[in-house]
């Protein structure tokens, strides 16, 4: 049977009756003859009815979801001072480490569920001349009885037990030797970088007729058939670096409370002197000190 015959069959008047009959959606069985209701029963587009699960898109549900991944206690704002090596006395191994320093770190204010929808501790570090601060910030500091701070950051905590009293100073002994922290900081800025440097593209040939496009990306996408457009997220040239990067699970090797020095295993993004936010590691068990700090 040739395919053309089937096409001719489809054009028969008998079949056109089927095509013309109105399609009725819903639970009503399709009837092609007999009495038809003029107002077919309409069902709601939404899933309504008793016994449905509670939606998970509410703020309370979000807090519940996050309960296990929020640290119990606040973190600290530190400054990256540089890197050095430490020798392990037993094994004789040399461990590369980063030196961080805390500078006049204090609790500025709290964020609470009742008022802001989440629990967080606002911390401030350093000192800034009041003349260089906006009036609103100055008012915020003076209202909380804290000296003007250079850097202000929030650290989310799980519940109100993690909220340190306002004005309390946090020293280097907030962290324990041997515990693990996550460190987040802005990486070194590389400026406007091409695709070879920014995304590791291969570039193009030095010769073989390539002119003036040795370091550029090739095609930005397919032509007609692929949509004739550049897809979102296409890797292109642009600003590289100076974006936040988190390094997880860094072990704390040394703590010097007098000078506010914390020595952390491994490297941290950013240049010397950059601001680093450290908090208890998410992917390790919470440190034992959490319980003691709550009681004090």
Partner 1 sequence: MIQLKTMLNCIDNSGAAVVECVQVLKKKRPATVGDRIVVVVQKQRSFGSDSTGNSGIANKVRRGDIRHAVVVRARKEMQRPDGSLVRFDDNACVLINKAGEPIGTRMNGVVATELRGRQWSKILSLAPMHV
Partner 2 sequence: MANSSSILQQLGCVRSLFTTTTSRSTTLQTPMVGRRMLSTVYSAKPDPIPFPKGLPDQFYSQIPKRMRPDLAPKKLKIVPPPPAPQCKDAVAAVTQAQLKTLDPSGKRMRLFDYRRYARSVKPGDIIRVTFKNGDPFAGLVLSIKLRGADTSVLLRNQLTRVGVEMSVKVFSPNVESVEIVQRSEKRKRRARLYYMRQPRHDMGSVENLVTNYLRQKRALAGKKDRGNKKR
Give contact residues for partner 2 (rule: CB under 8 A): 81-89, 92, 94, 99-104, 106, 127, 130, 135, 138-139, 141-142, 145-148, 169, 254, 256, 258-261, 263
Cα gap 190→198, rounded to integer Å:
9
* HSE of 226, CA atoms in CB hemisphere, 13 A: 9
What is the closest distance, in whole angstroms, from the C-beta atom of residue 267 to partner 1 in the complex? 15
Considering the rule CB under 8 A, would residue 91 count as an interface residue with partner 1?
A: yes
Considering the rule CB under 8 A, would residue 92 count as an interface residue with partner 1?
A: yes
Considering the rule CB under 8 A, would residue 85 count as an interface residue with partner 1?
A: yes
Cα gap 291→218, rounded to integer Å:
57
With beta carbons less than 8 A apart as the criterion, state whether 182 and 248 touch: yes
Strands (E), 173-234: 180-186, 191-193
77 binds, among partner 2, partner 1, none (CB under 5 to 8 A by kind): none
The dihedral region occupied by 159, where left means phi > 0, alpha psi between -120 and 50, and beta the remainder, is beta
What is the closest distance, in whole angstroms, from the C-beta atom of residue 128 to partner 2 in the complex? 9
With beta carbons less than 8 A apart as the criterion, state whether 67 and 60 touch: no
Cα gap 235→85, rounded to integer Å:
37
With beta carbons less than 8 A apart as the criterion, state whether 137 and 109 touch: no
User: Which one of the spans 19-27, 92-100, 117-125, 183-191 is the region binding partner 1 (CB under 8 A)?
Assistant: 92-100
Residues with Cβ within 8 Å of residue 38, at least 6 apart in sequence:
none
User: Which one of the spans 9-17, 90-98, 157-165, 167-175 is the region binding partner 1 (CB under 8 A)?
Assistant: 90-98
- Hey, is 86 helix, strand or coil? strand
145 binds, among partner 1, partner 2, none (CB under 5 to 8 A by kind): partner 2
User: Which one of the spans 24-32, 87-95, 136-144, 217-225 is the region binding partner 1 (CB under 8 A)?
Assistant: 87-95
What is the closest distance, in whole angstroms, from the C-beta atom of residue 131 to partner 2 in the complex? 10
Q: Which is nearer to partner 2, 195 or 276 (CB)?
A: 276
137 binds, among partner 2, partner 1, none (CB under 5 to 8 A by kind): none
Q: What does the binding site for partner 1 look like in residue numbers (CB under 8 A)?
A: 85, 87, 91-94
């Amino acid at each position: 049977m040739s395919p053309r015959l089937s096409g001719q069959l489809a054009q028969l008047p008998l079949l056109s009756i089927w095509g013309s009959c109105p399609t009725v959606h819903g639970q009503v069985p399709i009837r092609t003859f007999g009495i038809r209701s003029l107002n077919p029963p309409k069902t709601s587009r939404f899933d309504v009815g008793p016994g449905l699960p509670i939606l998970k898109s509410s703020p309370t549900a979000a807090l519940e979801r996050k309960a296990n991944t929020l640290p119990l206690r606040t973190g600290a704002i530190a400054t990256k001072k540089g890197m050095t090596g430490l020798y392990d006395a037993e094994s004789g191994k040399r461990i590369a480490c980063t030196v961080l320093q805390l500078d006049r770190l204090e609790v500025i204010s709290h964020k609470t569920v009742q008022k802001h929808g989440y629990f967080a501790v606002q911390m401030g570090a350093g000192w800034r001349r009041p003349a260089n601060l906006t009036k609103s910030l100055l008012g915020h500091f003076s209202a909380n009885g804290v000296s003007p701070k250079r850097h202000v950051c929030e650290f989310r905590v799980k519940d109100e037990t993690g909220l340190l009293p306002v004005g309390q100073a946090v020293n280097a002994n907030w962290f324990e030797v041997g515990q693990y922290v996550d460190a987040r900081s802005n990486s070194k800025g590389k400026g406007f970088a091409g695709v070879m440097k920014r995304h590791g593209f291969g570039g193009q040939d030095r010769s073989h007729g390539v002119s003036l496009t040795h370091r550029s990306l090739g095609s930005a996408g397919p032509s007609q058939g692929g949509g004739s457009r550049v897809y979102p997220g296409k890797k292109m040239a642009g600003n590289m670096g100076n974006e936040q990067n988190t390094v997880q699970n860094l072990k704390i090797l040394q703590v010097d409370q007098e000078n506010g020095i914390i020595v952390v295993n491994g490297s941290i993004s950013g240049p010397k002197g950059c601001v680093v936010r450290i908090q208890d590691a998410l992917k390790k068990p919470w440190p034992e000190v959490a319980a003691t700090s709550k009681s004090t």
